[in-house]
Structure 1
């Protein structure tokens, strides 16, 4: 369990790296959008070739469909709830649009939205440790590489909205700690579970992550980086795919 927590922490700490880049450097919005596109491609590859593929091998098509549907639905409900409280533009690097992230409700929604985005990824890391005894390198790398642009974009938005550096790093420190906890729980609670249950959980995480990408990261990427997003997403996908095949 400690190993799972460690790798969950490593992947979540990428959010702090993104926050450092956003607070210390003046990065053009288009570059932020393109880095989000790259991270999206990385995650799409990981959830397709690591999570969903392994889920199918463990539990078959029915388990995959059930997990994907449940993960997508649960994320959609949680995301809708966060949206109603001002968090629907939580990855917007300009700090504008929709509910204000500078007020109390928006700040709380930002934290909840970040947790909602990160927990399925971290749980997937914990589950990847079950059975084999070693972490799924491709999954950790994918989450890490996608968290850097996610932290960069959301931190740029918080900075533009007037939040202090202390507040920004405090948000990501909390999310990182929860990521470590989610990875540990993903391993600890499922270590003795049947292959079918593990398969459903893997597919659940994949469904939640894919819904998150379609609902938050990719729309923001296209809005701020334009038509290049498609090609950069493919680059991220290819990089993660080659890593998973190595």
Structure 2
């Protein structure tokens, strides 16, 4: 479990790195959006090759599909509730967070980090860290930290407050990785498959609700090729 905790913390620490970059280097929105789109593609590949494919080995298509929908539904309800309370613009790089709720912004960021860290814990229980998944999480967390922190900077949040927020998110992500590790019993393949499908649905909903809209707002039609490039990179990484 310690290994899962450390890998979960390491992957989520890209959020902290993104915050430091946002405050110290002030990257442009196009760069942030491009990395966000690439990270989305890599994570989509990881969901396809390492979660759905594995779940289908021990469960029917109908069962996997149902759990994917349930996972997506649970994430979406949580996201909707936080959006209504002022966390909907948490990834905006232009300062829209100024009109939102600080608590909802923090909780929204925590919610976004849970599915990917949970999935990371699942793969660690299966024997080794997934290079493709780890790369996808880092490539999604880095621009997420950059975009959100850029917006919080424009909204006049002090750097120390933003860094403390991301430290909290990193801690929750590490715990989520431990939860994923603990819930997948390798001796119970059928139960593991259900957990994989549920986590895959939550992760797909997170990508669709939070990363892709922000990337498309800036990159426009270039978002598609960038996502596909990330997906192709995931295919290559999954063979390592």
TM-score w.r.t. the length of structure 1 is: 0.92
Partner in structure 1 of residue 75 of structure 2: 75
Aligned-pair Cα RMSD in Å: 1.6
Of residues 143, 157, 167 in structure 2, which corresponds to 1:163? Answer: 157
From 115, 124, 131, the equivalent of 2:119 is: 124
How far did 1:133 drift?
2.6
- Is 2:35 the counterpart of 1:41? no
Match of 1:196 in 2: 190
In structure 2, the residue matched to 1:135 is 129
TM-superposition CA deviations, 1:25-77 (whole Å, max 9, x none): 12111221112111111111111111111111232323311220111100110
- After TM superposition, the structure 1 = structure 2 runs for residues 144-183 of structure 1, keeping only pairs within 5 Å, are 144-183=138-177
1:109 aligns with 2:124: no
> Gapped runs of 5+ residues in structure 1?
none
> How many angstroms does 1:193 deviate by?
6.4
Residues 163 and 56 from structure 1, CA distance in 2 versus in 1: closer, same or farther, beyond 3 angstroms?
same
Deviation per CA, 1:192-232: give whole Å up to 9, x if none.
66212211111111111111111121111111222211111
Structure 2, unmatched stretches of 5+, are none
Q: SS at the partner of 1:58?
A: coil
29-38 vs 119-128, greater mean Cα deviation: 29-38
List 4+ stretches of structure 1 deviating above 6 A. Answer: none
1:69 and 1:207 in contact (8 A); partners too: yes
Q: Identify the residue that residue 217 of structure 1 maps to in structure 2.
A: 211
> What is the CA–CA distance in structure 2 between the aligned matches of 1:119 and 1:219, rounded to whole Å?
19
Contact 1:55 1:64 (C-alpha < 8 Å) held by counterparts: yes
Distance 2:133 2:216 in 1: 25
Cα distance 1:63–1:140, how it changes in 2: closer, same or farther (>3 A)? farther
Contact 2:52 2:196 survives alignment (8 Å): yes
Partner-residue secondary structure (3-state), 2:122 = helix
The TM-score, its normalising length taken from structure 2, stands at 0.94
Distance 1:60 1:9 in 2: 34
User: Who is 2:16 aligned against?
Assistant: 16
